């Protein structure tokens, strides 16, 4: 096609304006793809909050509510479940492991979670990643605590430091269990999940700080100190929820039904993947708004291209008359102008992709370290290719406007060179 090389040469001749147009298209494309990347990454990191767990079990409320308090440490359980029921299912022949969860206390705004050592063995996030210790190890004594990465960083805690747990979830609680401090035995590596914002203590520790409490209130006049509490039976009577790993995935629905139909106590078992999906769908409005905004940025970039092309068209009428005089067809003229917008949007998208990857490479270590969000630098996804395709298709469609005008000019002007 002789006309395409002409289009390229003409673009090169106007490199300054064209360069500016390219930059604006590239930036908007990079923004669009960047938002899409962040969206999918945060979506998958959200979905990665918990993995390898087949069922989450708690008192009957709603699936999302259960997921929120057991996994995201948001909100509170309406009811506890009895230790007996937990024991019954922990010993179930199809169950491989369970992680008990006991909530209700906090430390300076961070939730405190009572659990067992199995938590550090079996909990998985982001596919198959286990929890790992940055420093120290899991708790072994009753008054020991393991901190999530963010808790340790924000509060500047170190191994061996003593912390006091407060009753309730508030930031400033007056009901502090300050007679029974916990020693930090380990600090976890960042996971990008709510684990980072959690203080973990043994279930026995939860029992111990509540031995002199009844119904969520300290019994007046009764004081049992830390040493004396250890003498008591520290087996919990109730927990908030528990996570279940099964021996075989095939049994999931069967065990779920058994738990939901449990006669001694109303229980609810949910599939975390399904509940996560439902929860994410609740947030998809904000997500779509973000995508629409970046789509609009691309539209503005393309509209800028249209303006520049239309403005330059009058000056180029002479050029088109000359081309007509040497035998160019009106269709060639259309191709010349529209091909230009195609070339611009192709080059702009390419540049935008380059910009995206360059930025990703630069910010990835920072984001991983600060937010635990792992940005993968993969080739563009199908969705991203479709987006790029749409950008280029609209580039061509937009180029048809000046293209059509030029086509009309070249028919009306003939070879009478005007201007």
Partner 1 sequence: MPAGDTPAAIQIRDLRFRWRPGLAEVLAIPRFQVARGEHLFIRGASGSGKSTLLSLLAGVNAPSAGEIRVLDQPLHRLSGVQRDHFRADHIGFVFQLFNLIPYLSVLENVTLPCRFSKLRTRRATAAGHSLDSEARRLLAHLEMNSDELIHRRVTELSVGQQQRVATARALIGAPEILIADEPTSALDSDLRENFIRLLFQECAATGSTLLFVSHDRQLEGLFGHHVAMDELNRTGRGG
Ligand X SMILES: Nc1ncnc2c1ncn2[C@@H]1O[C@H](COP(=O)(O)OP(=O)(O)OP(=O)(O)O)[C@@H](O)[C@H]1O
- Positions in the binding site for ligand X (CB under 6 A): 412, 416
Q: How many CB atoms lie within 10 A of CB 136?
A: 17
Angle at which helices 63-70 and 272-313 cross, to 10°: 90
Query: What's the count of helices (H) and strands (E) in the chain, helices before strands?
Result: 13, 17
- Which runs of consecutive H residues, i.e. helices, occur in 265-381? 272-313, 317-325, 330-371
Q: Which stretch binds partner 1 (CB under 8 A): 8-16, 66-74, 79-87, 200-208?
A: 8-16
3-state SS class at 261: coil
- Closest residue to ligand X, Cβ-based? 412
The contact mask relative to partner 1 for 355-374 (x = CB under 8 A, - = no) is --------------------
Helix (H, G, I), strand (E, B) or coil at 415: coil
Asked if 414 is part of the footprint of partner 1 (rule: CB under 8 A), the reply reads yes
Find the shortest distance in angstroms from Cβ 308 to partner 1: 16
Rounded-to-integer distance, Cα 307 and Cα 336, Å: 17
| Contact track, partner 1, 14-33, x by CB under 8 A | x-------------------
H/E segment holding residue 242: strand 241-246
Q: What is the DSSP secondary-structure string of 351-376?
A: HHHHHHHHHHHHHHHHHHHHH-----
Q: Is 330 in the site for partner 1 (CB under 8 A)?
A: yes
Task: Tell me if 74 contacts partner 1 by CB under 8 A.
Answer: no
CA separation, residue 205 to residues 18, 85, 138, 142, 170 (Å): 68, 21, 14, 5, 20
Backbone CA torsion sign across 147, 230, 91, 76: negative
What is the nearest approach in angstroms of ligand X to the Cβ of residue 328? 18
Of 416, 242, 404, 385, nearest to 321 by C-alpha is 416
Phi and psi at 270, nearest 5°, equal -125, 155
329 binds, among ligand X, partner 1, none (CB under 5 to 8 A by kind): partner 1
The answer to whether the CB of 313 falls within 8 A of the CB of 305 is: no
Q: Which is nearer to ligand X, 300 or 412 (CB)?
A: 412
Q: Which does 10 bind (CB under 5 to 8 A by kind): ligand X, partner 1, none?
A: partner 1
Task: State which residue, 107 or 332, has the beta carbon closest to partner 1.
Answer: 332
Q: Would you say 191 and 150 are in contact if contact means Cβ atoms under 8 Å apart?
A: no
Instruction: Select from partner 1, ligand X, none the partner in contact with residue 220, using the beta carbon and a kind-dependent cut-off of 5 to 8 Å.
Output: none
Shortest CB 332 distance to partner 1, Å: 8
Contacted by 350, from ligand X, partner 1, none: CB < 5 to 8 Å by type:
none
In angstroms, give the least distance from the CB of 312 to partner 1.
Answer: 12
As measured in angstroms, the least distance from the Cβ of 414 to ligand X is 7
How big is the site for partner 1, counted in residues (CB under 8 A)? 23
Select from 5-13, 161-169, 215-223, 295-303 the region that touches partner 1 (CB under 8 A): 5-13
277 vs 314, which CB is nearer to partner 1? 314
> Closer to partner 1 at the Cβ: 200 or 332?
332
Please tell me the distance from the alpha carbon of residue 220 to that of residue 105, in angstroms, as a whole number.
Answer: 20
* Among 214, 215, 177, 228, CA closest to 199: 177
How many angstroms separate the first and last alpha carbons of the chain? 29
Using the minimum distance from each CB to partner 1, give the nearer residue, 182 or 407: 407
Least CB distance to partner 1 at residue 328 (A) = 6
* Interaction residues for partner 1, span 309-328 (CB under 8 A): 318-319, 322-328
Where does this chain bind partner 1 (CB under 8 A)?
Answer: 2, 6, 9-10, 12-14, 318-319, 322-330, 332, 414-417
């Amino acid at each position: 096609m002789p006309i395409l090389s002409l289009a390229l040469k003409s673009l090169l001749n106007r490199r300054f304006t064209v360069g500016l147009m390219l930059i604006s298209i590239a930036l908007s494309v990079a923004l669009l793809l960047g938002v899409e990347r962040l969206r999918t990454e945060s979506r998958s990191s959200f979905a990665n909050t918990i993995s390898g767990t087949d069922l989450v079990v708690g008192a009957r409320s709603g699936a999302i509510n259960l997921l929120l308090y057991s996994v995201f440490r948001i909100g509170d359980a309406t009811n506890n479940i009895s230790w007996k029921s937990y024991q019954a299912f922990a010993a179930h022949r199809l169950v491989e492991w369970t992680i008990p969860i006991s909530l209700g206390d906090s430390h300076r705004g961070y939730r405190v979670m009572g659990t067992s050592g199995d938590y550090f063995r079996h909990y998985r996030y982001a596919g198959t990643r286990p929890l790992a210790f940055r420093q120290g190890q899991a708790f072994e004594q009753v008054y020991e605590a393991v901190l999530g990465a963010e808790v340790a960083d924000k509060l500047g805690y170190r191994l061996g430091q003593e912390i006091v747990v407060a009753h309730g979830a508030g930031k400033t609680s007056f009901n502090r269990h300050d007679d029974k401090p916990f020693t930090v035995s380990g600090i976890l590596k960042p996971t990008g999940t709510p684990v980072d914002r959690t203080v973990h203590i043994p279930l026995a520790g939860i029992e111990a700080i509540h031995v002199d409490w009844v119904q969520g209130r300290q019994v007046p006049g009764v004081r049992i100190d830390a040493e004396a509490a250890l003498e008591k039976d520290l087996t919990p009577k109730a927990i908030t929820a528990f996570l279940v790993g099964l021996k075989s995935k095939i049994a999931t629905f069967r065990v779920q039904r058994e738990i939901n139909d449990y006669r001694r106590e109303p229980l609810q078992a949910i599939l975390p993947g399904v509940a996560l999906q439902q929860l994410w769908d609740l947030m998809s409005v904000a997500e779509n708004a973000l995508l629409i905004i970046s789509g609009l940025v691309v539209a503005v970039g393309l509209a800028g291209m249209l303006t520049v092309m239309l403005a330059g068209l009058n000056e180029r009428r002479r050029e088109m008359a000359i081309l007509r005089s040497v035998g160019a067809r009106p269709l060639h003229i259309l191709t010349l102008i529209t091909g230009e917008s195609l070339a611009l949007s192709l080059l702009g998208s390419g540049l935008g992709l380059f910009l995206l990857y360059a930025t990703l490479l630069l910010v990835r270590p920072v984001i991983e370290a600060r937010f635990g969000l792992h940005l993968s630098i993969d080739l563009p996804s199908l969705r991203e290719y479709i987006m790029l395709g749409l950008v280029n298709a609209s580039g061509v469609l937009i180029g048809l406007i000046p293209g059509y005008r030029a086509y009309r000019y070249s028919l009306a002007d003939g070879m009478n060179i005007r201007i």
